[in-house]
Structure 1
Amino acid sequence: MKVVLVDDTHINLVLMSRLVDKLKDVSTISFQSAHEALAWCNAHPYDLLIVDYMMPDMNGLELIARLQAPPDQRPPVLMVTASVDVDVRHRALENGASDFLIKPIDKVEFLARTRNMLALRSATLGLQHRATWLAEEVAKATAELRAREQETIMLLCRASEYRDPETGAHIQRMAHYSRLIAEQLGLPEEQQQDVLNAAPMHDIGKVGTPDHILLKPGRLDPDEMAIMRQHAAIGYNILKDCQARMLQLAAEIALTHHERYDGAGYPRGLAGEDIPLVGRIVAVADVFDALTSVRPYKRAWSMEDARQHLLDNCGGHFDPRCVDALLQRWDDVQAIRARFRDEPGAATDHG
């Protein structure tokens, strides 16, 4: 451990240094200049500061008052003083002194107090290291849990792909569009990541849709569309009992991403801000990408035509804030579109 000695009298430094040398695994560094000592302490780690009170230019009180670390975060301070003035002691304590020694120094008392201060420092460091270790272990466990949640999501999405030929590129694009909207709306980083990870499960309920409807190569009739629309509630029922936060969010998205801002959506006919924000976000991202993608019953719209569709349906189908958030990031939208391209020949979806 490192002990810093500060005294304007050389012989006092020599005496204290030799006493400290008797302690095991302890080294000293000495300063006759309080200014030099202050600069060194503010730039280097140490475990105990033993400082004389009465020194020219800067006394011990001023020195510890100018230490950069807050009193509750710095190593202990042992002040040596010839004064028994109570006011001096009070001010020293206020500035962060841990204990006192009265001159002339008694060797036994000096070693005992130094040993006690170093033991205090050692215990404090041990607690700090323990707290750091615990924080790291919690972070590892949380990361592992999130990885398992994400793995579960990807497996469920992969399972649904065997029944719904909706392209993986569409899922990637709409998920990244969703995160873009969440970011532009000012959601915290953690929530943005949750939206990115949960959005791909928006249509997981299509695993419960009959093949003759799901795979029909043309538009659905009204009866078929009614059955298709059940996928929102089916997806919610699949996910709703999961305890993982990510899957709870995915359940909410599955249930609400086909609601409309004007109340004309499904399955519950919610309107405005009664629709959860994540549902409103994914509604914009999903429809925008569906419009710009090839489907068996339509050609892909241009990016500009899809952009105009969002504007034309603000306050009707879509939350105006979510539309504005996406369009404010138009360069990023185009970058996402270019990054996740459909495989040649991919076309589907009646959602």
Structure 2
Amino acid sequence: MITPSSPSARILAADDDHSALRVLDRILARGGFGEVRTTTDGTRVEALFREFRPDMVLLDLHMGAIQAPEVIRRLRALIPPEEHVPILVVSGDLSDESRLAVLSEGAADFINKPYSAGEVMLRVRNHLQTRLLHTAVREQNRTLEARVRERTEALERTAGEVLERLARAAELRDDDTGLHTRRVAELAGDLARAMGLPDGQVQALRLAATLHDIGKIGIPDSVLLKPGRLTPEEWEVMKSHTVIGARILAEGSSEVVRLAEHIARSHHERWDGGGYPMGLAGTDIPLPARIVALADVYDALTSDRPYRAAWSVPRVLEEIRSLRGTHFDPAVVDAFMDAVVPSLHAREAA
């Protein structure tokens, strides 16, 4: 570890006065600093900085063709925002104007010429100590951030597992395998990605979609498990699973639960306004619900039900095409046909 007097601390010193630079080099050597790179050419400071990666720069105010403020500006562009590399300006003519010029570019301190060995070592060690503390705090912050990320990811995994098991508990009431919610969630995620949603939203939608039928918990078995067609009265009861689901998920604090609430309420709405429970139409229906609506219908029609056998995939695709612009959002259908269906075929072939 670098300490304020460590010989491993790297110092870059630049001064166009050869004799003054030799004096500074000897002072630093006597102070225990063996990693010192020097130059009398101001135009080489930037290249040496890139190569040497110093812990500190000592820079003469007047460097011939290039002045200290310009050199500092270029060096600051090379230093990452989270890193602290002190730049100390040395000069025998530190007027107020000169001080303001270099301070405005990011100089950390000044050292007067002719050099006082005591002053040089005191300022160098103080600023190396500042860099050391800054680096230690930065590393500690990185460690803490990594721990927070790990714990957050663990909590998210736990929350996701709880939501998935809750969805499976509801699904098992009318699906012995409990796989419908998983298939709908996977298909909805594929559709969301095909429509260009960011990865974070895709993952949130995939998890939220598992809860689209959570409201079925509140539907009586006599209706939910009836093998034949429902009466008009029973159908009204069945439709209420959307409202029940939204009520169960209402006022959630997480993005996923809030998203799941919208999906549970609106995944049976239709593009033409003929759906339920609110009769929403077009883009008034939340996009996640429009996506899940298609995924839900596709999986339902390609799966066996107590009252009918599964449809063939070609028949289901033709049905979905026929419902483009009436039941389903045209953009969702297009994304499904163009991007998702080919991947489904590829999986089946594999």
- What amino acid is aligned across from residue 142 of structure 1 in structure 2? T
Maintained 8 Å contact 2:13/2:36? yes
CA contact (8 A) 1:149 1:246 kept: no
Q: Which has the higher contact order (CA 8 A, sep 6+)?
A: 1
Q: How does 1:231-310 map to 2 (within 5 A)?
A: 231-310=241-320
- State the match for 2:131 in structure 1: 121
Residue 47, structure 1, aligned to residue 55, structure 2: yes
The CA distance in 1 between the partners of 2:101 and 2:276, in whole Å, is 70
Could you list the per-position Cα deviations for residues 205-264 of structure 1 after superposition, in whole angstroms to 9, with x for gaps in the alignment? 222223333333343333332222222222222222443332222222111111112222
Which residue identity lines up with residue 286 of structure 1 in the other structure?
Answer: D
Are the equivalent residues in 2 in contact too, given 1:217–1:297 (CA < 8 A)?
yes
Counterpart Cα distance in 1 of 2:298 and 2:30: 76
Corresponding residue for residue 5 of structure 2: none
Quick check: 1:69 aligned with 2:78? Answer: yes
Write the distance in 2 (CA, Å) between the matches of 1:291 and 1:44: 67
Quote the residue 1:156 is aligned against.
166
Amino acid at match of 1:214: L
Q: Which runs of 5+ in 1 are unaligned?
A: 342-351
Secondary structure of the 1:79 match is strand
Q: Please give the secondary structure, in 1, of the residue aligned with 2:210.
A: helix
Distance 1:256 1:297 in 2: 25
The answer to whether structure 1 residue 28 and structure 2 residue 42 are counterparts is: no
What is the CA distance between 1:316 and its match in structure 2?
1.6
Listed one character per residue, the Cα deviations across residues 262-286 of structure 1 (whole Å, up to 9, x for unaligned) are 2221222222222222211111111
Q: Against the structure 1 CA distance between its residues 161 and 22, is the aligned structure 2 distance closer, same or farther, given a 3 Å change threshold?
A: farther
Matching residue within 16, 20, 27 for 1:19: 27
Equivalent position SS for 1:329: helix
Please tell me whether the aligned partners of residues 188 and 206 of structure 2 are also in contact (alpha carbons under 8 angstroms).
yes
Q: Secondary structure at the match of 2:236?
A: helix
Aligned amino acid, residue 114 of structure 2? P
The reply to whether residue 313 of structure 1 matches residue 334 of structure 2 is: no
1:23/1:267 CA distance change after superposition, 3 Å: farther
CA distance in 1, matches of 2:187, 2:134: 48
- Counterparts of 1:196 and 1:27, CA distance in 2: 58
Alpha-carbon spacing, 1:337–1:153, altered in 2? closer, same or farther (3 Å): farther
Who is 2:336 aligned against? 326
Query: How many Å separate the matches in 1 of 2:256 and 2:222?
Result: 32
- Deviation of 1:142 after TM superposition, in Å, equals 2.2
Distance 1:138 1:253, change over 3 A: same
1:184 aligns to 2:194 (yes or no): yes
What is the one-letter code of the residue matched to 1:228? M
Moved more, 48-57 or 316-325: 48-57
Per the alignment, residue 171 of structure 1 pairs with: 181
Query: Which residue type is aligned with residue 260 of structure 2?
Result: A
- Where do 1:190-205 residues align within 5 Å? 190-205=200-215
Question: 1:94-109 counterparts in 2 under 5 A?
Answer: 94-109=104-119
User: CA shift at 1:193, angstroms?
Assistant: 0.8
Q: What secondary structure, in the 3-state scheme, does the structure 2 residue paired with 1:42 have? A: helix
Q: 1:291-330 CA distances to partner (integer Å, 9 max, x unpaired)?
A: 2233333343343332332232223211222222222313
Instruction: Select 2:122's aligned residue among 112, 120, 123.
Output: 112
CA distance change for structure 1 residues 87 and 328 in 2, over 3 Å: closer, same or farther? farther
Per-residue deviation, 1:16: 3.0
Using the size of structure 2 for normalisation, the TM-score is 0.83
Conserved? CA contact 2:15–2:21, under 8 Å: yes
Evaluate the alpha carbon distance shift between residue 86 and residue 171 of structure 1 in structure 2; reply closer, same or farther with a 3 A threshold.
same
Aligned CA distance change for structure 1 residues 337 and 268 (closer, same or farther; 3 Å):
farther
* Distance (Å, rounded) in 2 between the aligned partners of 1:109 and 1:296: 90
How many residues are paired up? 339
Structure 2 gap ranges (5+): 3-8
**Maintained 8 Å contact 1:181/1:325:** yes
Structure 2 counterpart of 1:101, one-letter code: I
Which amino acid in 2 is paired with 1:224?
Answer: E
* Amino acid corresponding to residue 69 of structure 1 in structure 2: L
CA distance in 2, matches of 1:222, 1:237: 23
2:6 — aligned with what? Answer: none
User: For the aligned residues, what is the CA RMSD?
Assistant: 3.1
Residue 46 of structure 2 corresponds to residue 38 of structure 1: yes
State the match for 1:228 in structure 2.
Answer: 238
2:91 to 72, 81, 93: 81
Q: What secondary structure is seen at the aligned counterpart in 2 of 1:83?
A: coil
2:78 is paired with a residue whose SS is coil
- Opposite residue 111 of structure 2, the aligned amino acid is L
- Specify whether residues 13 and 167 from structure 1 end up closer, same or farther in structure 2 by C-alpha distance, changes over 3 A only: farther
